Structure 1
Amino acid sequence: MSHTAHIPSHRKPRRNASKTALRAGVAGGVLSTIAVAGAAGPAQAEPVTQTIEMPTITSGLSTAVAASAQATQQVAQDLQTQAQEDAAAATAAKTAKKAKAEAVRKAEAKKKAEAAAKAKAEAAERASRSTARTTLSATSGSSAGTAVSASSSSSSATGSAAAVIAFAKAQLGDAYVLGSTGPSSWDCSSLVQAAFRSVNIDLPRVSQSQSTAGTQVSLSNLQPGDILYWGGAGSAYHVGIYVGGGEFVGAQNSGTGVVQRPLSYDPPSGAVRVL
């Protein structure tokens, strides 16, 4: 036996490890149980159920959607209407342009036809005068010469005759236009009619009627103011005014206009006296 075997030790006795572990396990288990109970406590309570009423927006939304749809439909209708109006305007403009072109074409055609008719009438008038001049040259030549000598002493007109002659001479140089009645262009009968109207005597408009408007007089007994005509009485194709001195004033043709010429230039067929 050791000599120290009965000497008491001053060290604290060592705890048994197994007891310590057991104590720690028990404590941990308690704590775990408490933790689990604490954690599970609220979860086991009856859940709270609460219904939250949301504001009803169905009515307002429907109204807005309907208004939007209506506005969209209106815009579509407006666009369609505008497109139709634009198409109609384009069609109308095209039609108007075509109508205008057609009117211009017709006006030009009418103008050409009138010019051709006028040229034809003037050509016929010149041809008729030429024929009449040839036919009457033998029969009226001596009479015209007699008229010149017989009337040379009465070349100074007075009264209404002087006024008629003055009016006719005032138009010398004006243009000849078939169908025109003045004031700057005439045909043969309109000049005679206007000259006599200046002294308040109304004559018929055309040559045929003017050749029978007064008293028939011989070409050998002419007086200033007498109406000369070419062709037959009642079927005359030209007229003029005798101004005395063996001369007359008349709107002859488009080439000469209103001129004063001797009777020998274009011997007349007959004469009538109105004054």
Structure 2
Amino acid sequence: MSNAHIRSHRKPRRSSRNTLIRSGVAGGVLTTLAVTGAASPSSADDQASPGDTVELPTLDGLISSGTARAAQATQTIAIRYDVAAAQDQAAEAAQEAAARAKKKARERAEREAAEEAERKAEEAAARARAEERAEQERAEQRRTASRSAERPEVATTSEAATPAPAPAGGSASAIVDFVRAQVGKAYVMGSTGPSAYDCSGLTSAAYKQVGVSLPRTSQAQSTTGTDVPLSQVQPGDILYWGGKGSAYHVAIYVGGGKFVGAQNSGTGVVERDMSWDPPSGAVRVL
């Protein structure tokens, strides 16, 4: 039996989207009717004017509301990006500042290490010079002892009472000749000759040969006469070590960059180059 003329009882399919739309419209209409019915007046006197109507939300309103929310979300995301960028920039700046501080600390440490090395080198050089000076003094002491053993000097009563006779001339050259003649004699604290001297005792005895009386101590002798620059000293000038007025040692400049002085008990009276122990200043008495 042919059933071509019989209609199919299968209902046409409806898309879920159409169903949702229709359901939404129907729901909206029913809701509107319910609100309108509830708000309808019960009598003619309570009827609303033609202008009092309830408007349904329009599609434009929904779109505008969605656009506003989207704009707000975009603005929120942009703010978050700005905050993240600012945080990254701050972190980068902090890293750069830390790197600069580390570099400065390293440079300061290197500079301090170089200064410390230079200071230690200077101290080592000073110790070496002091040791060399001590060795020279010991050698001089050995030579003096050898000469004394070969030709011992015995001071007579008259020598102890009076200094050696003054060389002819009565000038700076006489002072130079006198102190050079004393080289090799002993150093004894408080002695003024003729067989032993201390530093100021030697200078006093030298100037006494030319009729000049000097103060007894090195401190007072450093303030006697006229100040002379070390670059302009002349034979016979008094050299002093230490401060002017508080000098702890004096000697006689003899020319050629040398001086004669009663140095200490180890060396006695010696002649030295000024570079061996540079003096602090000089005074001229004659």
- TM-score norm. by structure 1 comes to 0.43
Structure holding more helix per residue? 1
The TM-score with structure 2 as length reference comes to 0.41
